[in-house]
Chain A
Amino acid sequence: MERLLLPAIDWLAVLPVGLTALLGFVLLALGLFADDDETLGWITLIGLAVCAVVTACLAGQKSMTFAGTFALDGYALFFDLLFLVAGMVVVLMSMTYLEGTGIPAGDYYGLLVFALAGMIVMASANDLILVFLGLEIMSISVYVLAGAWRTQLRSNEAAMKYFLLGAFATGFLLYGIALVYGATGAFRLDLIAAAAAGAPHRALMVAGVAMLLVAFGFKVAAVPFHMWTPDVYEGAPTTITALMAVAVKAAGFAAFVRVFLHAFAGLHADWGMLLWVMAALTMTVGNVLALVQRNVKRMLAYSSIAHAGYILVALVASGAAGGAAALYHLLAYSFMTLGAFGVVAALGSVGEPNEMLDDYAGVGFRRPLLGVTMAIFMLSLTGIPPFAGFTGKFYIFTAAIRDGYYVLAVIGVLNSAISAGYYIRVLIAMYLTPGAEESGRVARQPYLVTSIVFSAVMTVLIGVFPALWMQLARLGFLSL
């Protein structure tokens, strides 16, 4: 009888995802017994902090395990930490947000942590099957989370739309994987890169790459695959919208960059032009449609589409400068977007979303802290120094110009100017429009306010000391 040979496994490499998944199981079990939502929130927060510290301790390690399919490198660690910290911010927000919604906290936190585990798999995946599995672990959790507020019609609708279009995109992802497998006979990214260099079965390969482009386009909400984004972001519970806009998008880009700038780097001539068009369309459509929105949450959804466009510009530029700029901007974008959705959540209450621009009238004076932090997030999203958004866009457009993509850089800068129109409008509403009278006492939201202040501090820190964060992004990208 033949003996089954198991490959040597480096358990250290799977520690981040292992611990995170373990936390998810613990939370699901605790959710059955604990009836204090706040305690569950604290347990999640502390658990994620432990995962983040352990992950940070792995810095500098570089290894491949599970027969070369699972990578532990600076790139994976960069994204792991981004996911875990974003997850902690979302948990903090949720500890206030969940009150009165009737969403079962054990399931909610458990699924949130499972989604993070899926993202970590995506960031580490050196194999298309693992990309698929990570993506599904994340997506299936987030489908449920989007519909977690079961009594709300718009939460139902968001979950339904997200599920149908997400599953549709999964079909394209799989077909792309099948075609690439047909062309190269491999699932592992390094083997695909090696086989693609020999240009076997060109038609199959190009078709496969195009299919994968469609699938990743759906996941990162790039035009023309963005239709679901505004509806889903508007309908989902605000904390989950923040998770989708930040962590899910970052996970999509983590796999996107690893697959395209690593495995398909040799085919840049084929997909570069497609991505160019996608980037230009994404920026323009996102920004122009954001201009006409009256609902701030929906406007932020279009803003997140536009920012996906900026990051795609960095991917078009590719190379070390482009890749590092993409990672840097993802980091910068994460905190300002988390904070902006935090403010949206803070102004709403159960039964009263208060998401329309008119509801923001006079907020700057009624809730000074929210006003100031929202101003920071809006200015940063516009790309005004000294905030993080400015340096992010600066690095991206510099990378694009250095590689000779002048037209794309010009489109990007013009779009930044357009975006000022709708971001500044929020500030005008908050500070220059006379608002309603003080509506009695304001609910205390200690956790939510903490998460908003943390995001604001990070937005300023990343913008004021860009070199340090850029160094991290560069090290991360170069470790690929």
Chain B
Amino acid sequence: MIVPTQWVLMLSAVLFAIGVVGVLVRRNVIVIFMAIELMLNAVNLSFIALARARGAVDGQVVVFFVMTVAAAEAAVGLAIIIASFRNRSTVNVDELALLRG
């Protein structure tokens, strides 16, 4: 049985929403970062479903770009988190409150 495109798109929307809520409510930087990755992968699912529905390959190609960029982003993001952790010994975003006003 082939899963209908709408179902996949709905799953993707739900995953994306979980990611957005995760970014907004979680306080641990690493978990926030994971939620962002969830958002990106939810979008990847959409791209694949839409590409299959259209019988085109370009939507699938985009997924490779997204995965590559997400990897680069993870490398830089984790480096930034480590640099901050070395100076502060915390990964809680509420404690990163030097700058406000």
Residues in A lying within 8 Å of B, measured CB to CB = 129, 132-133, 136, 140, 143-144, 147, 150-151, 153-154, 156-161, 163-164, 167-168, 170-171, 174-175, 177-179, 181-182, 185, 187, 230-231, 234-235, 293, 295, 298
CA distance A237 to B27 in the complex (A): 26
A-B residue pairs in contact (CB < 8 Å), sample of 5: A136-B69, A143-B77, A160-B81, A182-B50, A293-B101
Interchain nearest-CB distance for B78 vs A (Å)? 10
Q: Which residues of A contact B46 (CB under 8 A)?
A: 175, 178-179, 182
Q: Which of A158, A167, A187, A293: most chain B CB closer than 10 A?
A: A167
Q: Which of B62, B84, B99, B101 contacts A129 (CB 8 A)?
A: B62
Could you tell me if B36 and A168 are in contact, using CB atoms closer than 8 angstroms?
yes
Describe B's contact surface by its main secondary structure: helix
Q: Which residues of A contact B93 (CB under 8 A)?
A: 160, 164
Could you tell me if B80 and A181 are in contact, using CB atoms closer than 8 angstroms?
no
Q: List the count of A-B residue pairs having beta carbons below 8 Å apart.
A: 116
Q: List the 5 shortest-distance A-B pairs measured between CB atoms, nearest first.
A: A171-B39, A156-B84, A231-B99, A178-B46, A174-B43
Q: Which of A143, A154, A156, A234: most chain B CB closer than 10 A?
A: A156
Q: Which residues of B contact A147 (CB under 8 A)?
A: 80, 83-84
CA distance A177 to B16 in the complex (A): 14
Interface string of B25-62 (1 = CB under 8 A from A): 00001001100100110110011001000101011001
Answer whether A157 and B98 are a contact pair too, CB < 8 Å, given A164-B32, A178-B47: yes
Answer whether A160 and B80 are a contact pair too, CB < 8 Å, given A133-B69, A170-B40: yes
Interchain nearest-CB distance for B12 vs A (Å)? 8
Residue of A nearest to B50 (CB): A182
Answer whether A164 and B40 are a contact pair too, CB < 8 Å, given A133-B69, A156-B84, A235-B99: no
CA distance A334 to B46 in the complex (A): 38
Q: Determine whether B11 belongs to the interface, using a CB cutoff of 8 Å to chain A.
A: no
Q: Which of A132, A167, A181, A293 contacts B50 (CB 8 A)?
A: A181
Could you tell me if B29 and A159 are in contact, using CB atoms closer than 8 angstroms?
no
Q: Which of A144, A147, A185, A295: most chain B CB closer than 10 A?
A: A185
Residue of B nearest to A175 (CB): B43
Interchain nearest-CB distance for A28 vs B (Å)? 15
Could you tell me if B101 and A181 are in contact, using CB atoms closer than 8 angstroms?
no
Q: Determine whether B76 belongs to the interface, using a CB cutoff of 8 Å to chain A.
A: yes
Interchain nearest-CB distance for B43 vs A (Å)? 4
Could you tell me if A150 and B83 are in contact, using CB atoms closer than 8 angstroms?
yes
Interchain nearest-CB distance for B30 vs A (Å)? 11
